[in-house]
Amino acid sequence: MNLHLNVIGLGEVLWDVLPEGKKLGDAPCNFVYHCLQQGARGTVLSAVGNDHNGKEILELLNSKGLSEDLIQVNDHPTGIVDVSLNDRGIPEYTIHENVAWDFISYHEDIQQKVFEADIICFGTLAQRNNVFRITLEKILKTCKPGTLLVYDINLRQHYYNHAIIQNSLQLCNVLKMNKEELLIVCEILEITEEGDDKKVLHLMKRFNLKLIALTKGINGSLLVTTSDRSHLPTPQVKVKDTVGAGDAFTAAMIVGFANGNGLRKIHQKAVEISAFVCTREGAMPDFD
């Protein structure tokens, strides 16, 4: 089965400003781009400023085949993250606040687009501002029954708390996280089970989830549903960079899941696509 799936990625769009230049650095765009590579139709719901950085983002999204229909333009500056290296060569990040994507608003003209969505993916960072948190709840409550609501948790610095995580888990029905994020979530929610499997099952039962994905770096990845489980090792590839690999994993996984594929097949495809992205530069590489 290969459905014509409609996908929306919600949240931040921004530039990572590195010493060697700037790169698009947002999970929603990465996620939607990789859903398109799997045959879905997709768009990003976010906001940029009415400035040069915003215009460049819109041009780049167009060049990658991503619709800008749901990208709002407001009076706040386009989001940027300053990336610098300290004296030990370790990257340090300054995620600027009060930027355009902090003020993503809900308008009636997006209601139909949201209702047509089969998959909606959101994260944690954009919820640092109450404006977007309110918008997010309105959007997720406008969805048609059966929409897959993916919480790709993506914890960043101090931009999360108990209320945001608890509420997000109550709003979603699919959860994607890495091993470090699992430990943080379990500490925040006072989950005391030992071992990854028991922690994951606790989350699945507590929040009535359909699917949980746990990536563990070089130690492989785990997919769990209410009736099945799959663990696969991480392929050994020549890594150029890992930017966007997690978003590619999430995209391939959820498109396969929405199409009704078996869990093992879904997992193998997600691992394969993620590994491919690691062998290319950037989060949205061209597919041969």
Task: Determine the pLDDT at residue 243.
Answer: 82
Residue 203 lies in a domain: yes
Give me the pLDDT at residue 90, please.
66
pLDDT bucket at 287, cuts 50 / 70 / 90: confident
Mean pLDDT along residues 178-204? 96
* Mean pLDDT (whole number) for 161-173: 97
Predicted pLDDT at 109: 82
Residue 287 located in a structural domain: no
The domain that holds 46 is classified in CATH as 3.40.1190.20
pLDDT of residue 2: 60
Check residue 164 and give its pLDDT.
Answer: 97
pLDDT, tens digit, for every residue of 26-45? 899 999 999 999 999 999 99
Query: Does residue 268 surpass a pLDDT of 80?
Result: yes
The tokens for 246 are 């997690």
Please indicate, yes or no, if residue 127 is contained in any of the structural domains: yes
Contacts of 70 (CB under 8 A, 6+ apart): 8, 43, 44, 45, 46, 110, 113
| pLDDT band, residue 18 (cuts 50/70/90) | confident
In a domain, 262, yes or no: yes
Q: Is the pLDDT of residue 141 over 80?
A: yes
- Count of domains for the chain: 1
Average pLDDT over residues 208-229: 96
Largest CA distance in the chain: 53
Q: Find the Cα–Cα–Cα–Cα dihedral 147, 148, 149, 151, rounded to 10°.
A: -170
Q: Stretch 254-268: mean pLDDT, rounded?
A: 97
Q: Is residue 227 part of a domain?
A: yes
Please check whether residue 220 is in contact with residue 232, taking contact to mean a CB–CB distance below 8 angstroms: yes
pLDDT of residue 127: 97
- Whether 116 maps to a domain, the answer reads yes
pLDDT digits (tens, 9 = 90+) for 41-85: 999 999 999 999 999 999 999 999 898 899 999 999 999 998 877
Identify the domain containing residue 103 by its residue range: 6-278
1 belongs to a structural domain: no
Span of 4-8, 21-25, 166-170, 249-253 with lowest mean pLDDT: 21-25
Q: What is the pLDDT of residue 89?
A: 65
pLDDT of residue 283: 82
| Domain presence at residue 125 | yes
pTM of the full predicted structure? 0.94
> If pLDDT is split at 50, 70 and 90, which confidence band does 288 have?
low
